[in-house]
Amino acid sequence: LAKTTQPISMDSYEGQEVNITCSHNNIATNDYITWYQQFPSQGPRFIIQGYKTKVTNEVASLFIPADRKSSTLSLPRVSLSDTAVYYCLVGDGGSQGNLIFGKGTKLSVKP
């Protein structure tokens, strides 16, 4: 599974758009990019998954350039409740169970 690199932490204010970029230079052809969110004392929660270009759901957008060596999770108009650790993972989309988590990005949203 490809290794990922993310910023350790980010700060933002309520109402701002937050973009978290993840590098995955060794991504394989059949790898998908998946983002998880983890609140303290809870298990990680699936946010979004994509393979190329752009994916959007009710929670976030995921931007993936043509070379797929990086991806950007975009959270529109964050609130205090978006304070969490965000993990970027890459791997075979058909086998999302045996995951390799990196250190994640700790997002702190301030009022």
Partner 1 sequence: SAVISQKPSRDICQRGTSLTIQCQVDSQVTMMFWYRQQPGQSLTLIATANQGSEATYESGFVIDKFPISRPNLTFSTLTVSNMSPEDSSIYLCSVDRGKGAFFGQGTRLTVV
Helix, strand or coil, per DSSP, at residue 81: helix
Residue 81 in the binding site for partner 1 (CB under 8 A): no
User: Among the candidate windows 10-18, 19-27, 54-62, 99-107, which touches partner 1 by CB under 8 A?
Assistant: 99-107
Residue 99 in the binding site for partner 1 (CB under 8 A): yes
Residue 96 in the binding site for partner 1 (CB under 8 A): yes
Largest pairwise CA distance in the chain? 41
Four-CA torsion 88, 92, 93, 98, nearest 10 degrees: -70
Among 27, 44, 60, 107, binds partner 1 (CB under 8 A): 44
DSSP-derived pairing of the beta strands 53-56 and 61-64: antiparallel
Which residue, among 64, 105, 88, 92, has the nearest Cα to 4 in the 3D structure? Answer: 88
Tokens encoding 37: 């969110």
Name residues contacting partner 1, limited to 20-39 (CB under 8 A).
34, 36
Q: What is the nearest approach in angstroms of partner 1 to the Cβ of residue 38?
A: 8
Among 42, 66, 67, 111, binds partner 1 (CB under 8 A): 42
Binding residues (CB under 8 A) for partner 1: these are 34, 36, 41-46, 49, 87, 93-104
